[in-house]
Structure 1
Amino acid sequence: MAPATLAYVFELLAFALGGTLLQGVLLWSSWRLSSRLIPVARPGLRYRVASAHFALLAALPVLTIVSFHLLFATMGGEISREKPAIDLPPPTVSAAYLGLLTSVAACWLCGAGWQAIGLFGELARLAAMPLHAAPAALVATVDRLRVNDGGHRRLETRIAAVAGPQVIGFRRAVLMVPADFMTRLPAAEREAVLLHELAHARRQDFACNLLQRLGLTLVWFHPAAWALYRSLAFEREAACDAAAVRRGAAAKTLAQGLLRLAEDRHAHPVAMASSGGAALSVRLHRLLSPERAAPSLRARAGGAFGVLAVLGAALALAAPGLNAARMQDRYIASGFGPTVVVNARDPAGSFALRIRQGRVVQASIERQAVPSERIIQQGDTVLLLGANRRPAVSLRVFANGRIRWNARG
Structure 2
Amino acid sequence: MTGAGFVEAVGWTLLNFTWQGALIACETALHLVLLRNASPQSRYAVACTGLLLCLLWPLASLWMRLSGGSAADGGVALMLVGAGAGSPADLGWSGVLGMNLAWIVGAWALCALLLALRMVAGLLWVKRAAAHEARDPAWQVRLDRLAAQFGLRRQVRLRIVANLSSPVTAGWWRPVVLVPASLVTTMPAHLLEALLAHELAHIRRHDYLVNLIQNAIEALLFYHPAVWWLSRRIRAERELIADQLAAGQLGEPRRLALALSELEKLQFSTTRLAQAANGGDLMSRIKQLVRPESQSLNWKAALPVIGFALAALAGCAQQQPAKVQQDATAMNMGPMKIHAKVIETDAVADFNSCPRPVYPAVALQNKVEGTVSLGFLIGANGRVLDTTLRESSGDASLDQAARIALAKCSFKPATVNGTPIDRWTDVKYVWAAH
Q: TM-score scaled to structure 1, two decimals?
A: 0.67
Q: Are the counterparts in 2 of residues 43 and 239 from structure 1 also a CA contact under 8 Å?
A: yes
Give CA-to-partner distance per residue, 1:115-142, whole Å, 9 cap, x none: 1122112222222336345333211211
Q: Are the counterparts in 2 of residues 13 and 61 from structure 1 also a CA contact under 8 Å?
A: no
Equivalent in the alignment of 1:338:
388
Q: 1: CA distance between counterparts of 2:240 and 2:126?
A: 24
Q: Which amino acid aligns with 1:29?
A: C
Equivalent in the alignment of 1:100:
100
Q: Which amino acid aligns with 2:159?
A: R
1:183 to 176, 182, 185: 185
Equivalent in the alignment of 1:271:
274
Equivalent in the alignment of 2:18:
21
Equivalent in the alignment of 1:146:
147
Equivalent in the alignment of 1:235:
237
Equivalent in the alignment of 1:30:
27
Q: Are the counterparts in 2 of residues 340 and 356 from structure 1 also a CA contact under 8 Å?
A: no
Q: 2: CA distance between counterparts of 1:279 and 1:331?
A: 55
Equivalent in the alignment of 2:287:
285
Q: Are the counterparts in 1 of residues 169 and 203 from structure 2 also a CA contact under 8 Å?
A: yes
Q: CA deviation at 1:64?
A: 1.1
Q: Are the counterparts in 1 of residues 167 and 178 from structure 2 also a CA contact under 8 Å?
A: yes
Q: CA deviation at 1:171?
A: 0.8
Q: Which amino acid aligns with 1:55?
A: L
Q: 1: CA distance between counterparts of 2:235 and 2:32?
A: 14
Q: 2: CA distance between counterparts of 1:274 and 1:146?
A: 16
Q: CA deviation at 1:73?
A: 8.4
SS state at 1:337 partner: strand
Equivalent in the alignment of 2:260:
258
Superposition pairs of residues 100-139 of structure 1, within 5 angstroms: 100-129=100-129, 131-139=132-140
Q: CA deviation at 1:293?
A: 7.7
Q: Sequence identity of aligned pairs in percent? A: 26
Equivalent in the alignment of 2:408:
360
Equivalent in the alignment of 2:226:
224
Q: 1: CA distance between counterparts of 2:402 and 2:188?
A: 80
Q: CA deviation at 1:237?
A: 1.0
Q: 1: CA distance between counterparts of 2:215 and 2:43?
A: 19
Equivalent in the alignment of 2:336:
none
Give CA-to-partner distance per residue, 1:193-215, whole Å, 9 cap, x none: 11100001111212211111011
Q: Are the counterparts in 2 of residues 5 and 334 from structure 1 also a CA contact under 8 Å?
A: no
Q: CA deviation at 1:25?
A: 1.0
Equivalent in the alignment of 2:366:
none
SS state at 1:29 partner: helix
Equivalent in the alignment of 2:5:
8
Q: Are the counterparts in 2 of residues 163 and 266 from structure 1 also a CA contact under 8 Å?
A: yes
User: Is 1:170 matched up with 2:175?
Assistant: no
Q: Are the counterparts in 2 of residues 165 and 197 from structure 1 also a CA contact under 8 Å?
A: yes
Equivalent in the alignment of 1:208:
210
User: Is 1:322 matched up with 2:370?
Assistant: no
- Cα RMSD after superposing both structures: 3.9
Q: CA deviation at 1:159?
A: 1.6
Q: Are the counterparts in 1 of residues 376 and 388 from structure 2 also a CA contact under 8 Å?
A: no
Judged with a 3 Å threshold, the aligned counterparts in structure 2 of structure 1 residues 40 and 257 are, in CA distance, closer, same or farther, namely farther
Q: 2: CA distance between counterparts of 1:19 and 1:71?
A: 17
Q: Which amino acid aligns with 2:15?
A: G
Q: Which amino acid aligns with 1:338?
A: T
Equivalent in the alignment of 2:75:
none
Judged with a 3 Å threshold, the aligned counterparts in structure 2 of structure 1 residues 380 and 31 are, in CA distance, closer, same or farther, namely closer
Q: 2: CA distance between counterparts of 1:187 and 1:245?
A: 16
Q: Are the counterparts in 2 of residues 358 and 401 from structure 1 also a CA contact under 8 Å?
A: no
Q: Are the counterparts in 2 of residues 355 and 401 from structure 1 also a CA contact under 8 Å?
A: no
Q: CA deviation at 1:340?
A: 9.2
Q: Are the counterparts in 2 of residues 154 and 172 from structure 1 also a CA contact under 8 Å?
A: yes
Judged with a 3 Å threshold, the aligned counterparts in structure 2 of structure 1 residues 331 and 46 are, in CA distance, closer, same or farther, namely farther
Higher RCO (C-alpha 8 Å, min separation 6): 1
**Matched residue pairs, number?**
320
Q: 1: CA distance between counterparts of 2:125 and 2:291?
A: 38
Q: 2: CA distance between counterparts of 1:285 and 1:23?
A: 36
Q: CA deviation at 1:178?
A: 2.2
Q: 1: CA distance between counterparts of 2:23 and 2:390?
A: 39
Give CA-to-partner distance per residue, 1:80-115, whole Å, 9 cap, x none: xxxxxxxxxxxxxx9x98751211211221221121
Deviates more, 1:53-62 or 1:66-75: 66-75
Equivalent in the alignment of 1:158:
159
Q: Are the counterparts in 2 of residues 358 and 399 from structure 1 also a CA contact under 8 Å?
A: no
Q: Which runs of 5+ in 2 are unaligned?
A: 73-87, 89-95, 298-304, 325-345, 348-374, 392-400, 413-421, 428-434
SS state at 2:159 partner: strand
Q: Which runs of 5+ in 1 are unaligned?
A: 76-93, 296-305, 342-352, 362-378, 382-397, 404-409
Q: CA deviation at 1:294?
A: 10
Deviates more, 1:236-245 or 1:135-144: 135-144
Q: Are the counterparts in 2 of residues 57 and 225 from structure 1 also a CA contact under 8 Å?
A: yes
Q: 2: CA distance between counterparts of 1:265 and 1:339?
A: 55
